[in-house]
């Protein structure tokens, strides 16, 4: 049994991720802290450090967190770009950077990206850009992590449980069951892969 921290556990993807972690001790965290064990702000390294120190020994971190703004490129404001870059990209990089000082040898990080960097949709430019950056970060930083630590990303399409929220924005996309996304997270935690992007798409 591993101790796995799920950041963004209160969201739909976080809930999906936990479907694949039934054999492990799961610690939950989110920005609001609502319904979770801890509250954490991934854009604040001190907040992440406090989380990891409070948990103590852990073997894996799953990130299902990452706020994105949606708007046409021509009207996307600097503030919207900054919110997305900090929320989805920098925040997840912070998880790895700070987490390296606390995670056990042979541990793993699993980040979340998203299908829009390979299947773009209107008004999704910020999400697509940061998802592409996360995929690239994971592929490259895997060569630099010490102590046998692994890193991967799950790149899912919209899940059935979130279709009521995103369906109108994504005509022609086929949602997938959250349990299928959970299997991708399970593979990242329990296998030996590293530097991989696991696509979950119909």
Each residue's pLDDT tens digit, 78-103: 999 999 999 999 999 999 999 999 99
Residue 138: pLDDT band (50, 70, 90) is very high
How far apart, in whole angstroms, are the C-alpha atoms of residue 37 and residue 27?
Answer: 6
| pLDDT above 90 for 167 | no
| pLDDT above 90 for 166 | no
Instruction: Name the β-bridge partners of 150.
Output: 108
Tokens, residue 49:
């450090």
Q: Write down the pLDDT at residue 143.
A: 98
Q: Write down the pLDDT at residue 135.
A: 98
Q: Write down the pLDDT at residue 184.
A: 97
| pLDDT above 90 for 144 | yes
Each residue's pLDDT tens digit, 43-71: 999 999 999 999 999 999 999 999 999 99
Tokens, residue 105:
């040898």
Percent of the chain surpassing pLDDT 90: 93
Residue (of 171, 144, 202, 158) closest to 68 by Cα position? 158
Q: Are 76 and 21 in contact (CB under 8 A)?
A: no
């Amino acid at each position: 049994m591993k101790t796995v921290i799920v950041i963004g556990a209160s969201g739909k993807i976080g809930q999906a991720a936990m479907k694949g972690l039934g054999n492990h001790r799961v610690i939950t965290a989110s920005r609001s802290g609502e319904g979770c064990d801890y509250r954490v702000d991934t854009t604040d390294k001190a907040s992440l450090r406090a989380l990891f120190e409070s948990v103590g020994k852990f073997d894996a971190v799953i990130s299902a967190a990452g706020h994105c703004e949606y708007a046409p490129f021509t009207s996307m404001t600097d503030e919207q770009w900054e919110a997305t870059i900090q929320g989805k990209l920098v925040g997840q990089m912070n998880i790895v950077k700070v987490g390296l000082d606390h995670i056990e040898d042979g541990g793993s990080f699993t980040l979340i990206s998203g299908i829009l960097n390979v299947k773009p949709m209107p008004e999704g430019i910020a999400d697509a850009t940061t998802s592409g950056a996360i995929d690239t970060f994971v592929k490259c930083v895997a060569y630099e992590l010490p102590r046998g630590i692994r890193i991967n990303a799950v790149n899912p399409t919209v899940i059935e449980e979130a279709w009521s929220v995103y369906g109108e924005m994504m005509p022609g996309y086929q949602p997938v069951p959250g349990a299928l996304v959970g299997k991708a997270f399970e593979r990242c935690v329990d296998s030996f892969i590293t530097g991989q992007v696991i696509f979950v798409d119909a």
